[in-house]
Structure 1
Amino acid sequence: MIAMTRWNTVLVRNTLALFLLLAAIFFASPSVAPAADLGVIEAGALRSTPTKWVILDARPKSAWEAGHIPGALSFSWDNYTRTDEKGVQFSSFPPQELARILAGLGIDEKTPLVIYGDADKSWGGEGYDIWLFSWLGHKGPIRLLGGGIQAWNSLNLPLVKGEEKATAAKARYLVDLKPRYLISTEDIQQHRGTFTLVDVRSTLEWLKGRIPGAVHIPWDDFYTGKERRPLPAAELKKLLTKHGVDTSRPVVYYCTGGVRSGYAWMAHQLSGLSEAINYKGSWAAWEKRSGR
């Protein structure tokens, strides 16, 4: 009986130690790793202060060429992802390669950024871009254009077609990775019971296969209205509660390749809830996992 009591005590201590370790990984102290400066800017405000920001268009490049906000640079997720050496599709370029690309665009880690898309055609790419910069440790303000290109058009503001003459001088982008915004396949496998997994793929994708224990909330439930704005905080909390998501625990979003889940992550972050995590590899990586 005494031996059993001691064994239970050790088990409790080990479980507590594991939980504290995961908390350290997922929720690093703000004094050590401050949260990214995220927010929303409206089209009228952007129009009145265009030189303050570098504007990134997260839609497919064809959509950017057809008409974009003056000065906006094309920055679509499919132009900086590829199949990696393990055969995992939609893998983002390594951080230092991304840093070189950003530097070539005249962006450094302190550059104020405005990112926009249309949610639908961009498959949530604006959210993925915001997640990507947060993960890279961007130190300048990052703003989502509220309502995206739809809001810009609703004000009859000008668009530019085709390429624009580059005016930005080359910069140097210093990466300061924030691991708390990302989780690996190995951590998903080993510590699945310590967080809530939310699968944001379509119902058809979900029915074809999902990570055991995941909750299903399609990604297009995370935006609303004709302008496809991220759900307001109260509505997002209601949505998560409806599906039994305990937001007092870490929440991990995944999709096929981390793009739609990046949008869900962004909506979560903007809502003021405890920080979320994007499973960047998502289903594409889960299918390639070892020990299947």
Structure 2
Amino acid sequence: MAAVRSSISEKIVILKIQALEVITPRACEKKYWLLSRKSGTTHKRKKEGYKKMTYRMIYLCMAASAMLMAAAPLMAFDLRLADPAQAAKLSDAVILDARPPKEWQQGHIPGALSFSWENYTRTEEDGVKWRILPPEELARALGAMGISHTDAVLVYGDADTSWGGEGWVVWMLAWLGHEGPVYFLDGGIQSWQADNRPMTADAGKNRAPTTYEVNLAPQVNISREQIDARKDKINLVDTRGFFKEWMLGRLPGAVHLGWEKFYQGRHRQVISADQLKTLLENKGVDLNKPVVYYCTAGIRSGYTWLVHQLSGLPGAVNYEGGTEEWAQKHPLTR
């Protein structure tokens, strides 16, 4: 890409290409227009630049998409598993409770902030439900809560009422390019309470607002168009319920592994790397190819992505759009 001679606006697109989470010709055109505005180009020049945009830029976008997908295992994201004793020592970490707000209100780890996926998703204009908010909106929300991109963060849930939302929160931080270490409380609130750790219903003090800088990591997400283009080069794993969801329709070529298989024991602790590898191999998953987890809208599959990431196995991706997005353009198969 560096060898291609480009206009100023084209160079901006190339430099910002890593921030494209859904890379399609239409998305490239939209990003080109927005970045032209951001660069201070006049309205007349913007209009002319938009009209003169060539397919070379579209091909660059698509090529960048393929490169980013291939680079998925190289993502720099500091994710660590913590037991209650280790978590209790993280005095400087921001604590995020990923359960529904009503659960947080009834009792949470002292100092924990409520951060439920339900408050950070929306229905898009095309009717697709539970889509994650745009990165800039998430950054504003995190900054308003006093969370910086360099902060250490401890995330927990219950792998129950949260529908795996704790995994979605960790995945979201990875997608935003969080630079500080992210700790995941193994066994969630159940293990914390079983270890006789303190709980409170006190909302606590507000943190001073700060700036959260985004350095988007599109390699942990995938679009419907990318799945179409790479369907022979990826594994698709459906993490939804078997009878009420999988049997009624799924993505072509997918195998089924319900998200409940990714935790174990009464505290719902994450399974080991060996257990995960066995699960995947028993389903015929080729671990030399990226594993794309999906559910209805990326929540439960966010949890399975988390477990995969913790295992150290290569190539985990969360299809955030899920069957909600897929079914807008393609029928689900049986």
Q: Shared fold (TM-score greater than 0.5)?
A: yes
Give the unaligned 5+ runs of structure 2: 1-62
Residues 1:218 and 2:258 are matched in the alignment:
yes
Change (3 A) 1:124 1:190: same
Runs of 4+ in 1 over 4 A off after TM superposition: 20-23
Match of 2:87 among 46, 71, 75: 46
Q: What are the residue-to-residue correspondences of 1:185-204 with 2, within 5 Å?
A: 185-204=224-243
Give the unaligned 5+ runs of structure 1: 1-19
**Separation (CA, whole Å) in 1 of partners of 2:314 and 2:141:** 31
**Separation (CA, whole Å) in 2 of partners of 1:203 and 1:182:** 24
Residues 1:56 and 2:96 are matched in the alignment:
yes
Q: What are the residue-to-residue correspondences of 1:1-292 with 2, within 5 Å?
A: 24-28=67-71, 34-49=75-90, 51-166=91-206, 168-204=207-243, 205-289=245-329
Which amino acid is 1:40 matched to? L
Contact 1:66 1:162 in 2 (8 A): no
Mean Cα displacement is larger for which, 78-87 or 96-105? 78-87
1:235-282 CA distance string (max 9 Å, x none): 010111111111111110000000000000010010010031100000
Aligned-CA RMSD value: 1.8
**Separation (CA, whole Å) in 2 of partners of 1:27 and 1:150:** 37
1:57-90 CA distance string (max 9 Å, x none): 0000010001000000000100100101221101
Contact 1:254 1:282 in 2 (8 A): yes
Q: What is the number of equivalent residue pairs in this alignment?
A: 269
Report % sequence identity. Answer: 48
**Separation (CA, whole Å) in 2 of partners of 1:165 and 1:142:** 22
Q: Secondary structure at the match of 1:203?
A: coil
**Separation (CA, whole Å) in 1 of partners of 2:65 and 2:330:** 22
Which amino acid is 1:28 matched to? A
Q: With structure 1 as the length reference, what TM-score do the two structures score?
A: 0.88
Contact 1:253 1:264 in 2 (8 A): yes
**Separation (CA, whole Å) in 2 of partners of 1:170 and 1:39:** 26
Q: With structure 2 as the length reference, what TM-score do the two structures score?
A: 0.77
* CA shift for structure 1 position 290: 6.6
Contact 1:56 1:73 in 2 (8 A): yes
